[in-house]
Structure 1
């Protein structure tokens, strides 16, 4: 493999809240990546520290202050063509996961361009908060060893009768898939971990044109070695060369590339109206989740 056939990226997220996906105080999660090398990323961090007059670690909320707008604009200009952001509306993500888990055979392509586009049905479901909440409660299976039939009853009772796409969702199907989750079936992607499809979408972006991607990622409990390996294997079955070349998790404090990705993820997660306009030249729509978009900076 020649040096031109692969790219190394550094990634981080903002807004990760575990399985508490319907918290109105944190409606969006962003996953940012950059292909800056270590020296270039260190230079970016050094310039920002100088502009913000910070000697130690700083966060994106400091860059979002009105008086730091020149520094923010400078950062986005420096990253143009060198970074990517995926923004996920968590409520829409949960709605899509209902369909992916209970109406089709789930795969590690769900939620990406390789999966089914459920956006029309998601739009109809995103305001059914009781139904979505029952789904989240049902699928919290960590350390669960027995089927919670009360949670199954509650979920079945809340299925909207007027949504035709949910008619295949029977009790038998729900109990079958829940048992597979409880048994930790490795073929089932975790339904309440948006970082897994976020990583998949990021890999698809950077591997476009036939490159493999070496990932350096901030430490995240959701991205276990087993899940990343299964994601890599799935993508290798779909595309050649395999999109995932390698995956390493690091402490963000030790890697300036991840620090830059962290700043970008935080900026994109809390866009004030004027910031949306600033980011608009880099934004394109992603098809998998309603109210989800992807930004190429």
Structure 2
């Protein structure tokens, strides 16, 4: 008789999600937090924080970041030690890498994860080419678009830097072929402007270390459609055995204290204030999504 593989359930939420507005300098990072808590443990944590914040209903991480709440903040991070994880994505680096993932190779649902191609060096060369990156974002923002925007293609090529050798592989024919697939909503193409999709994959990979399948309970997010989640799961199963993603469900965060705790952690980790760096550095690092080591356990 085959022994049943132990599995783990984690609850997730994000902070810094800005839709396709990925180049906003006021919100440079998106954090995806996950916690491995049961409902009573999470409810106890929320009760302690509610008492500290002196609020009976709505509460957010920015309230916990007030100077007078420092003891509660440190208590939370200590309490979650060994039971939480944060994955952080630098949005500008994410966009830069997407140029190469979309237009120089066949895109897969491994794009933007540690199982995808490493475009770190080439993407770094694009980091400060904001005009070009903005043209790429405009080009690939295809929701409700039904016809090819040739003017957007022209702007993309007009702003393309000539001193980045890897961009020589980006041809108009290739761009127009991929863009038509995006416009036609080809389900095999991962969404180019949705960092939550690779963030989910990386979270699952982290918790599945050692071969344990992961069940994910996630705050409601329109970016994580059933089709996209299924393709993330299929990609991971093609590369890692046993299949890492056991199940996925979305919930209203108001109904699940585990997601509320993840929301607190994501919001705290996203704010890189000087007074938080030392406290958070052991727990999370803001890194490009292709890095071999890009996240750490609280």
TM-score of the superposed pair, with normalisation by structure 2? 0.96
2:282 alignment partner, SS class: helix
Task: Quote the RMSD (CA, aligned, Å).
Answer: 1.5
Distance in 1, matches of 2:207 and 2:244, equals 8
Distance in 1, matches of 2:108 and 2:79, equals 36
Distance in 2, matches of 1:280 and 1:212, equals 28
TM-score of the superposed pair, with normalisation by structure 1? 0.96
Partner of 1:222: 223
CA contact (8 A) 2:88 2:285 kept: no
Distance in 2, matches of 1:264 and 1:102, equals 35
Distance in 1, matches of 2:117 and 2:40, equals 40
Distance 1:121 1:35, change over 3 A: same
Partner of 1:130: 131
CA contact (8 A) 1:141 1:182 kept: yes
Partner of 2:170: 169
Partner of 1:18: 19
Distance in 1, matches of 2:258 and 2:280, equals 20
Partner of 2:77: 76
Following TM superposition, by how much is the alpha carbon of 1:274 offset from its aligned partner in structure 2, in angstroms? 2.0
1:5 alignment partner, SS class: coil
Distance 1:268 1:10, change over 3 A: same
Partner of 2:48: 47
Partner of 1:236: 237
1:46 alignment partner, SS class: helix
For structure 2, which runs of at least 5 residues remain unmatched after alignment?
A: none
Which deviations, in whole Å up to 9, do the C-alpha atoms of 1:111-170 show, x marking residues without a partner? 111011111112110100000000000001111111000000110111111001111000
Partner of 2:179: 178
CA contact (8 A) 1:89 1:289 kept: no
Partner of 1:262: 263
Question: How many residues in Structure 1 have an aligned counterpart in Structure 2?
Answer: 296
CA contact (8 A) 2:29 2:286 kept: no
CA contact (8 A) 1:92 1:123 kept: yes
Distance in 1, matches of 2:288 and 2:25, equals 23
1:9 alignment partner, SS class: strand
Following TM superposition, by how much is the alpha carbon of 1:4 offset from its aligned partner in structure 2, in angstroms? 5.8
Following TM superposition, by how much is the alpha carbon of 1:295 offset from its aligned partner in structure 2, in angstroms? 3.4
2:31 paired with 1:30: yes
Partner of 2:204: 203
Distance in 2, matches of 1:154 and 1:51, equals 52
Distance in 2, matches of 1:28 and 1:289, equals 15
CA contact (8 A) 2:88 2:284 kept: no
Following TM superposition, by how much is the alpha carbon of 1:271 offset from its aligned partner in structure 2, in angstroms? 2.3
